[in-house]
């Protein structure tokens, strides 16, 4: 199977997880992944804007996880022209190569930015439509994953982000590999799901987190209210939650890392006297 964008933030973890799950992984990206433990896997240098690169990368693969894209959070920023070319032309080239080689299992990285509010958002609209067309025309099993934000952050910012539409990169990767299993086993025809954190928080707490959140955190992780103060972690007014039961039913996937896991981890590090202010989120380094 092929992973495009395999050297990226999601791609490198997806590749590692897919290898661990026993998949025969081919990675494609414009440059090889930095991680040493991925050096053993097959790597194709491939600019998805170039049809012949994509053809070479897809040939011989029965499944494709298409992650290669630019998004809006890169520093310095990527131009809208490049975002459009990579996310739309690049995706089209992958679709065409999949048709040529009869690929019957596809996972596509969409985004919660899907929509008409930015060029990037529109590229995900077009991307989802292209893969929908691919499913309609070929009958391939396709899963589209609308990830929430998992741009690398420092440890405390990451914890805070989990309450503000962030999702842990490990959950992004496990959702992607679960989707890969789902399409390879043809358990789904065309399925789309949001990939988000699940704090298992009652609705009345989520809707009024500003006043109820602190007590809820303290109840779940005794001592955490003091940690929120010490590390100046501000609570949002509300916490967005999604019903992810279809993803669990169809893909056997559910997220593992929410605010409770973060606070438990923070407590452990705090007790050890770690300088958490200078840490990055688990396994993450800056872009």
Ligand X SMILES: NC(=O)c1ccc[n+]([C@@H]2O[C@H](COP(=O)([O-])OP(=O)(O)OC[C@H]3O[C@@H](n4cnc5c(N)ncnc54)[C@H](O)[C@@H]3O)[C@@H](O)[C@H]2O)c1
- We find the least distance from the C-beta atom of residue 230 to ligand X, in angstroms, to be 28
Q: Are 135 and 171 in contact (CB under 8 A)?
A: no
Site for ligand X in 50-79 (CB under 6 A): 67-71
Q: Which of 7, 140, 178, 247 binds ligand X (CB under 6 A)?
A: 7
Q: Which of 1, 2, 3, 11 binds ligand X (CB under 6 A)?
A: 11
- We find the least distance from the C-beta atom of residue 180 to ligand X, in angstroms, to be 14
Helix axes 169-184, 9-20, angle to 10 degrees: 50
Note whether 255 binds ligand X by CB under 6 A: no
Note whether 5 binds ligand X by CB under 6 A: yes
Site for ligand X in 156-215 (CB under 6 A): none
Note whether 109 binds ligand X by CB under 6 A: yes
Distance CA 44, CA 263 (A): 40
Note whether 15 binds ligand X by CB under 6 A: no
Note whether 151 binds ligand X by CB under 6 A: yes
Q: Got the DSSP string for 5-67?
A: TTTSHHHHHHHHHHHHTT---EEEESS--S-GGGTTSEEEE--TTSHHHHHHHHTT-SEEEE-
Let me know the angle formed at the C-alpha of 104 by 92 and 183, rounded to the nearest 5 degrees.
Answer: 105
CB nearer to ligand X: give 46 or 180.
46
Note whether 90 binds ligand X by CB under 6 A: yes
Note whether 26 binds ligand X by CB under 6 A: no
Note whether 38 binds ligand X by CB under 6 A: no
Which segment (130-138, 146-154, 223-231, 278-286) binds ligand X by CB under 6 A?
A: 146-154
DSSP label at 233? -
Which residue's beta carbon is nearest to the bound ligand X? Answer: 8
211 burial via Cβ count (<10 Å: 0-12, 13-18, 19+) = exposed
How many residues sit in the footprint of ligand X (CB under 6 A)?
A: 26
Q: Which of 18, 29, 199, 233 binds ligand X (CB under 6 A)?
A: 29
Q: Are 276 and 230 in contact (CB under 8 A)?
A: no
- We find the least distance from the C-beta atom of residue 152 to ligand X, in angstroms, to be 8
Distance CA 279, CA 287 (A): 15
Please choose, from the candidates 210, 150, 209, the residue with its C-alpha nearest in 3D space to the C-alpha of residue 175.
150
Note whether 150 binds ligand X by CB under 6 A: yes
- We find the least distance from the C-beta atom of residue 110 to ligand X, in angstroms, to be 7
- We find the least distance from the C-beta atom of residue 85 to ligand X, in angstroms, to be 8
Q: Which of 17, 48, 65, 233 binds ligand X (CB under 6 A)?
A: 48
Please choose, from the candidates 283, 161, 266, the residue with its C-alpha nearest in 3D space to the C-alpha of residue 220.
266
Residue 243 φ/ψ, nearest 5 degrees? -80, 110
Q: What are the residues binding ligand X (CB under 6 A)?
A: 4-5, 7-11, 29-30, 46-49, 67-71, 86, 90, 109, 111, 147, 149-151
């Amino acid at each position: 199977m092929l992973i495009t964008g395999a050297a990226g933030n999601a791609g490198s973890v997806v590749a590692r997880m897919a290898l661990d799950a026993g998949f025969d992984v081919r990675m494609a990206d414009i440059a090889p992944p930095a991680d040493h433990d991925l050096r053993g896997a097959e790597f194709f240098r491939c600019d998805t804007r170039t049809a012949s690169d994509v053809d070479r990368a897809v040939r011989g693969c029965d499944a494709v996880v298409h992650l290669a894209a630019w998004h809006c959070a890169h520093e310095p920023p990527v131009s809208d022209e490049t975002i459009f070319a990579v996310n739309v032309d690049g995706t089209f080239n992958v679709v065409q190569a999949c048709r040529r080689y009869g690929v019957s299992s596809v996972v596509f990285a969409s985004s919660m930015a899907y929509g008409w509010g930015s060029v990037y958002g529109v590229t995900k609209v077009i991307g989802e439509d292209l893969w929908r067309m691919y499913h309609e025309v070929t009958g391939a099993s396709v899963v589209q994953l609308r990830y929430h934000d998992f741009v690398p952050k420092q440890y405390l910012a990451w914890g805070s982000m989990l309450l503000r539409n962030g999702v842990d990169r490990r959950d992004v990767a496990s959702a992607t590999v679960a989707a890969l299993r789902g399409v390879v086993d043809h358990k789904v025809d065309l399925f789309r799901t949001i990939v988000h954190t699940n704090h298992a928080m009652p609705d009345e707490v989520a809707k009024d987190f500003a006043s109820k959140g602190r007590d809820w955190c303290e109840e779940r992780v005794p001592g955490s209210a003091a940690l929120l103060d010490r590390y100046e972690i501000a609570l949002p007014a509300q916490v967005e939650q999604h019903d992810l039961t279809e993803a669990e039913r169809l893909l056997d996937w559910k997220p593992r890392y929410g605010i409770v896991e973060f606070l438990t981890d923070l407590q452990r590090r705090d007790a050890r006297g770690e300088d958490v202010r200078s840490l990055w989120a688990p396994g993450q380094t800056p872009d």
